[in-house]
């Protein structure tokens, strides 16, 4: 027993909860006092310089949101106060795991980060081109991203690391299935959907709250590369996606997306068969149909990439009155880690950079720090309250209290009974959503990716992952096993 290495904090304190964040009840929000979460995320945010830790390779464009439908029964946000309202936006697309010089056609989710410049402040909706994610607790995020980066010994991308993590975390299966389909290699940024991914909330003029998910449906149609086509494009033009977007907008072929929402009441959430705040799950559209909101259009390429795209900073914490958060654990973790990452990357005054600055009123008592370029408050007071200025806290913006399911705080297993169905939705995706050709391509992509697993644990990792595929769909498991040359034994089928 003396040879066992105990898991410790950076200061040497042993601890046990490295995968589950402390929450208020099994489905409640994250507690600020869980310092292990903050230590992991704060260190993770500072691991790379000067690139973004994730989403390093990206491109962006300006445009507008036009409101086409009335959703004021759900939200009092001024941006949606009447049909016909327009709002300037910035949309940044990106790959997730690659470095700044990586190829646009890599198999990877695509970031879909929107900044709405509203009269009530800037609203950042920071999602992906997928409605789900690989993990559902923020403590898992840094560990997951490490497996998508480079091996600490060889400095090479490692299929072994990736599949070892995924095989040990079955909650990843839904996103893995999407990633390994042709949706993992979009043909262009104009031909993909966007999602807020997380569950958010909306609050109306009567202080009533509903839970929402945001969808952005491309009006150009979905277009993906096969695995072979994506590999070929890496050698032909590693910047093909950025080139395509720049040229389309330059030719006034402005891409558009239909903005839609799904809405769930608080009562429906309590009676829902699974956790509606689980980022690895989708809400069935048959139960929660898409509701039309508006249209976003991209019509202007930034005049300087570094100033307006590289320096752009997004954070899900930036919401506006009428739009708010939910107990989604990953969202709660991002509320802290994203602004922290931007302060590290761009400095404490990153919101003074023109592309990030609210074009309307900004009144606060933040002063000093690196690159304070807005006059630094000049001679006005730097404390609140005071007897000299006329800045007030407007009580009309106060949100209603969020009703929680428990007052007991603790480390609740994210995959406890009732939270551990990792297979139903991936199985439905494979059997009912994908076409025959998409299923064949997905299996081929999985086999190709898993063929790179090496080392003494190769068979263990492969067999463990195969069990997940079998649990999702027997046909999927059999096809992948056959492609890898693995004989399926009774033991594997029993575990499935």
Q: Tell me: the pLDDT tens digits for 231-257?
A: 999 999 999 999 999 999 999 999 999
Indicate if 55 belongs to the active site.
yes
pLDDT at position 156 is 95
For the cut 90, the answer to whether the pLDDT of residue 42 exceeds it is no
pLDDT at position 367 is 86
Helix axes 436-450, 173-180, angle to 10 degrees: 100
How many angstroms separate the CA atoms of 181 and 494, rounded?
Answer: 27
Query: Helix (H) and strand (E) counts for the chain?
Result: 14, 12
> Angle 29-31-34 (CA atoms, 0-180°, nearest 5)?
135
* Least-confidence region, from 239-248, 337-346, 460-469: 337-346
Q: Could you count the other beta carbons within 10 Å of the beta carbon of residue 109?
A: 27
Q: With residue 317 as reference, give the H or E element that holds it.
A: none
pLDDT band at 405 (very low <50, low <70, confident <90, very high): confident
Q: What is the mean pLDDT of residues 27-45?
A: 84
pLDDT at position 493 is 62
How many angstroms separate the CA atoms of 90 and 296, rounded?
Answer: 10
How many angstroms separate the CA atoms of 461 and 163, rounded?
Answer: 7
User: Which entry of 122, 128, 224, 415 is annotated as an active-site residue?
Assistant: 128
pLDDT at position 383 is 84
For the cut 70, the answer to whether the pLDDT of residue 492 exceeds it is no
Residue ranges covered by each domain of the chain: 35-359, 424-495
User: Which entry of 55, 193, 318, 422 is annotated as an active-site residue?
Assistant: 55
Indicate if 382 belongs to the active site.
no
pLDDT at position 414 is 92
**Alpha-carbon dihedral angle through residues 288, 315, 325, 368, given to the nearest 10 degrees:** -160
Q: Which of 213, 266, 203, 267 is nearest to 398 (CA)?
A: 203
Answer positive or negative: Cα dihedral of 162, 163, 169, 170. Answer: positive
Q: Which of 467, 461, 456 is nearest to 496 (CA)?
A: 467
Q: What is the mean pLDDT of residues 193-212?
A: 97
How many angstroms separate the CA atoms of 106 and 231, rounded?
Answer: 8
Helix axes 141-148, 329-346, angle to 10 degrees: 60
* C-alpha dist (Å) from residue 253 to 9, 19, 87: 53, 46, 20
pLDDT at position 49 is 47
Please report, in angstroms and rounded to a whole number, the separation of the first and last CA atoms in the chain.
Answer: 34
pLDDT band at 494 (very low <50, low <70, confident <90, very high): low
For 476-495, give one letter per residue: b (16+ CB within 10 A) or e. Answer: bbbbbbeebebebeeebeee
254 is written with which tokens? 């402005």
The mean pLDDT of the chain is 92
For the cut 50, the answer to whether the pLDDT of residue 201 exceeds it is yes
pTM above 0.75, yes or no: yes
Dump pLDDT digits (tens) for 136-182: 999 999 999 999 999 999 999 999 999 999 999 999 999 999 999 99
* Least-confidence region, from 140-144, 303-307, 396-400, 488-492: 488-492
Q: What is the mean pLDDT of residues 439-464?
A: 97
Q: For 441, list phi and psi in degrees, rounded to 5.
A: -65, -40
Dump pLDDT digits (tens) for 363-381: 888 888 887 888 888 999 8
Q: How many CA atoms lie within 13 A of 100 on its CB side?
A: 9
Instruction: State the fold for domain 35-359.
Output: Catalase HpII,  Chain A, domain 1 (2.40.180)
């Amino acid at each position: 027993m003396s040879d066992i290495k105990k898991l410790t904090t950076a200061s040497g304190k042993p601890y046990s909860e490295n995968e589950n964040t402390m929450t208020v009840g099994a489905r409640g929000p994250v507690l600020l006092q869980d310092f292990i979460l903050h230590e992991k995320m704060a260190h993770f945010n500072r691991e790379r310089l000067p690139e973004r830790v994730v989403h390093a390779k990206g491109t962006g464009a300006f445009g507008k949101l036009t409101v086409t439908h009335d959703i004021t029964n759900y939200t009092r946000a001024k941006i949606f106060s009447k049909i016909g309202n327009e709002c300037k936006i910035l949309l940044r697309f990106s790959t997730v795991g690659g470095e700044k010089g990586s190829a646009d056609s890599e198999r990877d989710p695509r970031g879909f980060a929107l900044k709405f410049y509203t009269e009530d402040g800037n609203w950042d909706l920071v999602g992906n081109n997928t409605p789900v994610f690989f993990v559902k607790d923020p403590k898992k995020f840094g560990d997951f991203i490490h497996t998508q980066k480079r091996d600490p010994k060889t400095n090479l991308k490692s299929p072994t690391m990736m599949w070892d993590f995924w095989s040990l975390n079955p909650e990843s299966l839904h996103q893995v299935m999407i990633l390994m389909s042709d949706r993992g290699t979009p043909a262009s940024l104009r031909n993909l959907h966007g999602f807020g991914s997380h569950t958010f909330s909306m609050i109306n003029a009567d202080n009533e709250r509903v839970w929402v998910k945001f969808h952005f449906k491309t009006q150009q149609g979905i277009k993906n590369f096969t695995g072979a086509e994506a590999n070929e494009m890496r050698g032909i033009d590693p910047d093909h996606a950025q080139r395509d977007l720049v040229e389309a907008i330059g030719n006034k072929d402005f891409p558009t997306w239909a903005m839609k929402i799904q809405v769930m009441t608080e009562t429906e959430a309590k009676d829902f068969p699974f956790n509606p705040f689980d980022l690895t799950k989708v809400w069935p559209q048959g139960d929660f149909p898409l509701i039309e909101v508006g249209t976003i259009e991209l019509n202007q390429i930034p005049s300087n990439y570094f100033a307006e795209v590289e320096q752009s900073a997004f954070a899900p914490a930036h919401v506006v009155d009428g739009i708010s958060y939910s107990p989604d654990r990953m969202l709660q973790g991002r509320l802290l880690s994203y602004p922290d990452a931007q302060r590290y990357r761009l400095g404490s005054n990153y919101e003074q950079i023109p592309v990030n600055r609210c074009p309307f009123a900004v009144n606060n008592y933040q002063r000093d720090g690196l690159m304070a370029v807005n006059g630094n408050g000049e001679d006005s007071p730097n404390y609140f309250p005071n007897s000299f200025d006329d800045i007030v806290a407007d009580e009309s913006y106060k949100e209603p209290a969020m009703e929680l399911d428990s007052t007991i705080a603790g480390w609740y297993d994210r995959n406890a009974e009732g939270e551990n169905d990792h297979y139903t939705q991936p199985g439905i995706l494979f059997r009912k959503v994908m076409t025959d050709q998409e299923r064949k391509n997905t299996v081929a992509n999985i086999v190709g990716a898993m063929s790179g697993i090496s080392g003494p644990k190769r068979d263990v990792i492969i067999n463990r992952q195969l069990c997940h595929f079998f649990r999702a769909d027997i046909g999927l498991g059999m096809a992948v096993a056959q492609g890898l040359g693995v004989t399926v034994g009774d033991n594997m089928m029993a575990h499935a």
